[in-house]
Amino acid sequence: MTASTTVRLDVPRDDPFGIHNLPYGVYSLPGRDPRVGTRYGEHVVDLATLLGDEVFAGPSLNPFMAQGHDRWVQVRAAIAAALNGDVPRQAVHSAADVTLHLPFEVADYVDFYASEHHAANLGRLFRPDNPDPLMPNWKHLPVGYHGRSASVVVSGTDIIRPCGQRKGPNDPAPVFGPSVRLDIEAELGFVVGTGNTLGEPVAAGRAEQHLFGVVLFNDWSARDIQAWEYVPLGPNLGKSFASTVSPWVVPLLALTEAKVRTPVQEPEVLPYLALDEPWGLDIDLEVEWNGQVVSRPPYAAMYWSPAQMLAHLTVNGAPTRTGDLFASGTVSGPAKEQRGAFIELTWGGAEPVTVAGQQRTFLEDGDEVVLRATAPGAGGARIGFGEARGRVVAARQGREV
């Protein structure tokens, strides 16, 4: 190639989107169809063009993810090699010029509840008379429930305040209207690249073969709707209106340096949940509310690991598929400023926090929340996750189809 058709990309090795990260996403240019790209520094690099592989020419990561773990390893090496050399100029776009899309088609979505600090805080808030804030099953299995795949949206999508039923403990009857206790949950989401067949569980030690990558995940939650509806079958409308994911899927292959032991699991877990190697993740999250960082939840404090979540999800023979997404549940650490949901941070609204000079409890219309995270990468680099951003807009009433 001549100099005019190629370009050398000079990205510092410690850039959050440096050579040790190489996340996958789906981008588009104005008037063009979405395609798969990687983020490299401030560049978005088209992978079909870079690698000459048509699996990246479409609007979803699913076809590539379905090719399996060996291909993920090969392609990652090929991208790194290509980015270290002359890159076709037409493959390179400025991150500022592209629109980012939901990076994969979500198959089944499950939300876990894997932070002991979060579960215990909610237990203290909702069941103050119980001597143990955790439910009896909590340390024996990663508790989780299925949620709505259709309302998983990409960062930047406005969050319409949901309407629904709520009933306070002293209200004579439920009322209908916009949620008045709209909250966030700062989580990580894990993306299944290749699933398992019905009847064939994924052993915890084999999770690495199935898990493709990690996204930021904001499980927006209407606490008033949830509190009234959730007995006895769990959350539904209080959660199903929207969940925000970050546009860049960080490969699990980029997170080998982030692997740490989970906290000690005592009582000992059943054999199908036991792990020979560390599967905790030393990922530091950050919750920004109207421009101010209000919490820094440490993922390393999570009790249950994603490998255990996947083993549990499938131990009854349930199948998973390419594009399955399971989220961790709220990431909360032991300290108050490490709590990943406002219901915990403000202790059920009783202890407002100061946000940009105002005393605040739950979300108001116009509020914007941004999740960010970093993890240790190879050679002392930090791996960036980009952001999961959402702005709350006023409820729509009387608009029905």
Give the residue with the Cβ less far from a copy of itself, 6 or 165.
165
259 is in an annotated binding site: no
Q: Between residue 226 and residue 255, which ones bind a copy of itself under the rule CB under 8 A? A: 228-238, 240-242
Q: Is residue 28 part of the contact set for a copy of itself (CB under 8 A)?
A: no
**Whole-angstrom Cα distance, residue 61 to residue 251?**
12
Q: Is residue 149 part of the contact set for a copy of itself (CB under 8 A)?
A: yes
| SS3 at position 396 | coil
**Whole-angstrom Cα distance, residue 160 to residue 392?**
6
Q: Are 206 and 235 a contacting pair, CB within 8 Å?
A: no
Q: Are 373 and 286 a contacting pair, CB within 8 Å?
A: yes
226 is in an annotated binding site: yes
400 is in an annotated binding site: no
CA 90 to chain centre: 31
Least distance CB 14 / a copy of itself (angstroms): 38
Give the residue with the Cβ less far from a copy of itself, 110 or 383.
110
**Residue choice 77, 198, 293, 394 for contact with a copy of itself (CB under 8 A):** 198
Mark 57-86 with x for binding to a copy of itself (rule: CB under 8 A) and - for no binding.
------------------------------
129 is in an annotated binding site: no
Q: Are 188 and 327 a contacting pair, CB within 8 Å?
A: yes
Q: Between residue 377 and residue 396, which ones bind a copy of itself under the rule CB under 8 A? A: 396
| SS3 at position 326 | strand
Q: Is residue 266 part of the contact set for a copy of itself (CB under 8 A)?
A: no
Active-site annotation, residues: 118
Give the residue with the Cβ less far from a copy of itself, 101 or 336.
101
Least distance CB 233 / a copy of itself (angstroms): 4
Residue 375 per-residue DSSP state? E
**Whole-angstrom Cα distance, residue 106 to residue 326?**
10
Q: Are strands 325-327 and 109-112 parallel, antiparallel or unpaired?
A: parallel
How many residues of this chain bind a copy of itself (CB under 8 A)? 72
Mark 268-297 with x for binding to a copy of itself (rule: CB under 8 A) and - for no binding.
--xxx-------------------------
Between CA 380 and CA 77, with CA 306 as vertex, the angle to 5 degrees is: 45
Give the residue with the Cβ less far from a copy of itself, 66 or 78.
66
Q: CA-CA distances (angstroms) from residue 328 to 20, 168, 331, 332?
A: 24, 29, 7, 11
Q: Is residue 219 part of the contact set for a copy of itself (CB under 8 A)?
A: no
15 is in an annotated binding site: no
The neighbour count for residue 26, using CB atoms within 10 Å, is 24
Q: Between residue 321 and residue 360, which ones bind a copy of itself under the rule CB under 8 A? A: 321, 324
**Whole-angstrom Cα distance, residue 47 to residue 86?**
14
> Which of 389, 352, 366, 362 lies closest to 227 in space, CA to CA?
362
Stretch that binds a copy of itself, among 14-22, 163-171, 347-355, 373-381 (CB under 8 A): 163-171
314 is in an annotated binding site: no
239 is in an annotated binding site: yes
Give the residue with the Cβ less far from a copy of itself, 64 or 109.
109
**Whole-angstrom Cα distance, residue 175 to residue 172?**
9
Least distance CB 314 / a copy of itself (angstroms): 8
Bridge partner list, 281: 259
**Whole-angstrom Cα distance, residue 261 to residue 328?**
16
Q: Is residue 163 part of the contact set for a copy of itself (CB under 8 A)?
A: yes
145 is in an annotated binding site: no
Q: Is residue 313 part of the contact set for a copy of itself (CB under 8 A)?
A: yes
Residues at the binding site for Ca(2+) are 111, 185, 187, 219
